[in-house]
Structure 1
Amino acid sequence: LLDDENPYNPLDRKYKLKKGNSSIPLFKTRLSLSSKSTLIKLTTTIFSDYDPSIRPYCQGHEQVNVTMDLAIRQLIDMNEPDQIIKLNLWIRLRWIDCLLTWNPIEYDNITDLIVPFNKVWTPDITIYDSVSQEFYGLEKFRANISYDGAINYNFPTVTEIQCQVDVTNFPFDRQMCPLQFGSWIYTGNLLDMNLENDHADLSALKENVEWGIPR
């Protein structure tokens, strides 16, 4: 998308529906200038006293509830001698940050903001049995903030995980590789993780010529 094409801005969508009308350009310019000005005002306001290093706190709720949904995009490699499995994952995280809320009526009905990863607090989610130090490429993606404080952060990553291999039935063996996610820093009374589903999303899985993942 171009800089002025914000898919979450209803004003941009109005313009695109009427793009063929020759009387639109002046109207579009006014909307774009107004929208950008309001967007700057909104961003400045909600982030004026915000510190992304501080865990969100909602009055009456000490604990931050993080919901995670996991999609396995590809089983890249299963290294049996080293007992390491390499996966391409899509991870989707959701939580509430009560410090990042606003009234859309006061800001040209803007209901969502898309901001850089390091602009907001994010949970320090990791895979406990991962041989990688951290999720690769987190800083390259952006978070979506809704006016009610709901934050969605979706990102792809490639990770290598320890997997205890049992070759008793080789070459027709089946391996169980548990994925245990959690926080390194926060205890359960400060950050609670919940799974959206009790199984990974395999709808976009690319097949591996040697190994398969039961659907």
Structure 2
Amino acid sequence: MGQILGGHHEERLIRDIFEKRRYSGLARPVENESDPLEVEFGLSLQQIVDVDEKNEMLHTNMWLKYDWKDYNLSWNKSDYGGVESIRLPSNKIWTPDILLYNTADEDIDSKYPVNVVVYSSGACNWIPLGIYISSCAIDIKWFPFDDQYCKMKFGSWTYDGSKINLTSKSDTIDIETYQKSGEWILLGVPAKRNIIKYECCPEEYIDITFTIHIRRRTLYYGFNLIIPCALISSLTLLTFLLPPDAGEKISLELLASPFPVMRCLGYFFLIVERMK
């Protein structure tokens, strides 16, 4: 019976918000129009899906975390059977238009549609998830011992700093549920809040930029490329240590001929070429 009554109160609350109050998700939810809306933003990295060296793109599985307060969505819990929170579709209420500035995805807003958790105080918690593709300048100068620094810049597309005060939840990214990559080691993801004035507009815009620092795992390339090439090359030097009339010298010279070395180098350059 308690569950039925709870469902009834929740349904009545939602009906009152949209029908009696005639809630609109078009307006920025502030009581004073001159005040900025406080929006906290953070990222939770789930997985580094792919690093596309050739096209210079980073594919990541991310959860985006938003927190703000919408005074139009607050209620008195005692009026609705003690209901503390409700779930509303994100397209039915106001949500911040935070986008990935350096996206390389054709579908810019490709987040999976998830509900917003709204509390009686008007506090809103929204955690959309999705695969994000961002542009990243790849430097393979020291391949396969290379580090990469990929930036992900998030900010409001239409609201300047006087309308939305965007702040970071933390000085780094959340990696509590991160699934380790087989090819890359995650070294750190610091976050930085920037206030920038663009040439197009007189207002100042706020963004949160995360720098994903990763290092390539060299074990695969070491066992399959570097060590074999080094051993074959060292055999060439050993042939000079053997006496001229040694029978093993001929077979060793055949084994350490330039052709295996050239094959190793050819394989290495082929890998590098595919990254360009």
Instruction: Please report the TM-score for the alignment, with normalisation by the length of structure 2.
Output: 0.64
Task: Give the equivalent residue in structure 2 for 1:46.
Answer: 17
Match status 1:69 vs 2:42? yes
Q: Is the 8 A contact 1:94 1:151 kept in 2?
A: yes
Residues 144-155 of structure 1 mapped to structure 2, 5 A cutoff:
144-155=117-128
CA–CA separation in structure 2 for the residues paired with 1:154 and 1:184: 19
Specify every segment of 5 or more residues in structure 2 that has no aligned partner in the other structure, as ranges. 189-276
Aligned residue for 2:257?
none
More helix by proportion, 1 or 2?
2
- Rounded Cα–Cα distance in structure 1 between residues aligned with 2:122 and 2:145: 49
SS in 1 for 2:127: strand
The alpha carbon displacement at 1:97 in A equals 0.5
8 A contact 1:135–1:159 mirrored in 2 = no
Q: State the AA in 2 paired with 1:134.
A: I
2:78 alignment partner in structure 1? 105
TM-score between both structures, scaled by the size of structure 1: 0.81
Per-residue deviation, residues 40-73 of structure 1 (Å, max 9, x unmatched): 2211112231111222113376211110121110
How far the C-alpha of 1:188 sits from its partner, in A, is: 1.2
Equivalence for 1:192 = 165
Q: Residues of 2 paired with 1:85 and 1:163: CA distance?
A: 6
The 1-side partners of 2:44 and 2:10 are apart by 33
1:202 deviates by: 1.2
1:124 matched to which residue of 2?
97
Q: Distance in 2 between matches of 1:91 and 1:146?
A: 19
**Unpaired segments of 5 or more residues in structure 1?**
1-27
Alignment correspondent of 1:165: 138
2:41 and 2:91 map into 1 onto residues whose CA distance is 19
Kindly report the root-mean-square deviation, in angstroms, between the aligned alpha carbons of the 2 structures: 1.5
Q: Take 1:159 and 1:69, find their aligned partners in 2: how far apart are those partners?
A: 15
Alpha-carbon distance, 1:168 to partner:
2.0
Q: How far did residue 181 of structure 1 move?
A: 0.5
Corresponding residue pairs, total: 185
The answer to which of 153-162 and 46-55 deviates more is 46-55
Deviation for aligned residue 1:138 = 3.7
Bigger-Rg structure (1/2): 2
Higher relative contact order (CA 8 A, sep 6+): 1
> What CA distance in whole angstroms lies between the structure 1 residues aligned with 2:159 and 2:96?
9
Find the aligned partners of 2:57 and 2:144 in 1 and give their Cα distance: 17
Q: Stretches of 4+ moved more than 3 A in 1?
A: none
| Structure number having the greater strand percentage | 2
1:86 CA drift (Å): 0.3
Deviation digits for residues 59-108 of structure 1 (CA, Å, limit 9, x no counterpart) = 37621111012111000000111110100001111001011111001111
Contact 1:66 1:95 in 2 (8 A): yes
1:36 match: 7
Could you tell me how far apart the structure 2 residues matched to 1:211 and 1:130 are? Answer: 21
Other-structure match for 1:136: 110
Partner Cα separation in structure 1 for residue 179 and residue 138 of structure 2: 22
| Preserved contact between residue 166 and residue 175 of structure 1 (Cα < 8 Å) | yes
* CA deviation vs aligned residue, 1:152-172 (integer Å, no higher than 9, x gap): 001211011000111221111
